[in-house]
Amino acid sequence: MGGLLTAELERILAETPELENAYLVGGCVRDWLLGLAPEDIDVEVFGLTYDQLAKVLSRWGATDVVGRSFGVVKLRLPTGQTFDFSIPRRESKTGPGHTGFRTAFDPSITPKEAAARRDYTINALMFDPRSGQVLDFFGGESDLRLGILRHTSSAFVEDPLRVLRGMQLASRFDLKAVPETLALCREIRGGYHELAVERIKEEWFKWAAFCRVPSAGLRFLEATGWIEHFPELAALRGVPQDPQWHPEGDVFTHTCHCCDALAQMAGWRAADETSRVVFMMAVLAHDFGKPATTQETIQDGCKRIVSPGHEPAGGPLAETFLARIGTPRAIIERVVLLVKNHLAHLQTVNERFVRRLARRLEPETIEGLCLVITADAFGRPPKPQTVPPGVTELLHLATQLRIRDSAPKPILQGRHLLAAGLPPGPEFGRILDAAYEAQLDGHFTDLDGALSWLSQHETRANGAARKGP
């Protein structure tokens, strides 16, 4: 049972007779079988009413019954640990949307009946803490071992969100859906419009933050027809690329390879969860501008395929896509900056350029941009995965200038203007803005240089004032 049952939970289950029919369920069992540390432990209890369950659990700690409508009681132990206990429920579809269900809690439901209402077989697994055995009514353990994504029962079609859940599960665990499941997903394509934006965002963010093989989820969307609900992504299919630079195929294929490459990069894995979402979404969207800009041309007598201006063209499309799935504004801004600048390494890289790039990217960073650029370069098999020279130079100069993970901080501050005897007023802002521009251009790099610049600036300003118009 190592890693699945904590000592506290084992004691609760062993010393509470009323919980004799309690089972660990869902994702925690799946993750445990995969050798992963389960983050959330869910316990399903049979044979009790909701009120009886809440009363029994209150012996062990504080209970939160805010999840009453879902049959969930959250138990918080004095140690701070929390567990979700629930009672099984029957659901029947009564109308559109995620609220269109009639729910009935029934203590007489059997474990197999309860497992049947779960979305995929790998999530329908249960663990019996008394025997130490896994209850597998629908072949979920075999599916998990074989990398198969299979719906649990015909009830799958009642909740369209299960399709997007399949997208992120396929990506997180490198799963391939069986034809029967793909057919059911296609059958409920119209149900996408019933889904709350917040639920759509949650599944996309799980894809972006926790994926192992993100292309598995993108291919799942394509195979189910659900890719049509995301037109910026769907438009990438069939858009040609110059085989000299992109032997892997069309833009959609390239995007799949790029996302997979990013998921293997140490810098992405080490980033915080929000930044992993930002970087993965940026790689997903980095070529959204290509469908509108791709054209054939003749260069040196040879036919070439080019996409001039696809970086700035992709910014608004990335913003539209992200806004439609409910992405917070702060994340949208970071992603768009990365999309618009993902070819920055092809410019002349010098100190002035790097300082201005760091400023232009704020609140994103050169470090993050280089992850996106490198993933773009790695997503071109069978070309070798080689870090572009411009990325190496960008990181080298940004490290030297100490702006690898932030924009340059203004050296000249308002207090320095006061110390120089300048009177406070609107002119302060104009002077500081001009000073920062001069700093970015490399006219000074320390406070002494900034004060010297200020003295010269004031001399020039006073001379211009004396001359008049």
Tens digit of each residue's pLDDT (9 = 90 or more) over 197-224: 999 999 999 999 999 999 999 999 999 9
Q: What is the pTM of this model?
A: 0.90
Tokens of 29: 């069992």
Q: Are 370 and 403 in contact, with CB atoms under 8 Å apart?
A: no
User: What is the per-residue pLDDT for 307?
Assistant: 96
User: What is the per-residue pLDDT for 466?
Assistant: 42
How many angstroms separate the CA atoms of 161 and 165, rounded?
6
Q: Which of 93, 103, 83 is nearest to 43 (CA)?
A: 83
User: What is the per-residue pLDDT for 37?
Assistant: 86
- Domain at 1-143, CATH class: alpha beta
How many angstroms separate the CA atoms of 412 and 451, rounded?
8
Please report, for residues 46, 419, 467, the alpha-carbon distance to residue 391 in angstroms, rounded to integers and kept in the order given.
58, 41, 48
75 sits in which H/E element: strand 72-76
User: What is the per-residue pLDDT for 468?
Assistant: 46
User: What is the per-residue pLDDT for 379?
Assistant: 98
How many angstroms separate the CA atoms of 256 and 220, rounded?
12
Q: Where are the domains of the chain?
A: 1-143, 414-467
User: What is the per-residue pLDDT for 465?
Assistant: 43
How many angstroms separate the CA atoms of 87 and 27, rounded?
17
Tell the burial category of 167 from Cβ atoms under 10 Å away from its Cβ (0-12, 13-18, 19+): buried
Q: Which residue has the tokens 């203007």?
A: 417
How many angstroms separate the CA atoms of 421 and 466, rounded?
19
Mean pLDDT by 10 residues, the chain (469 residues): 79 95 95 89 94 95 89 93 90 57 76 94 96 95 97 95 98 98 97 96 98 98 98 98 96 98 98 98 98 92 93 98 98 98 95 95 97 98 97 96 93 94 89 93 94 87 50
Q: Which of 304, 307, 334 is nearest to 318 (CA)?
A: 334
Please report, for residues 10, 448, 450, 461, the alpha-carbon distance to residue 456 in angstroms, rounded to integers and kept in the order given.
75, 13, 10, 9
User: What is the per-residue pLDDT for 3?
Assistant: 67
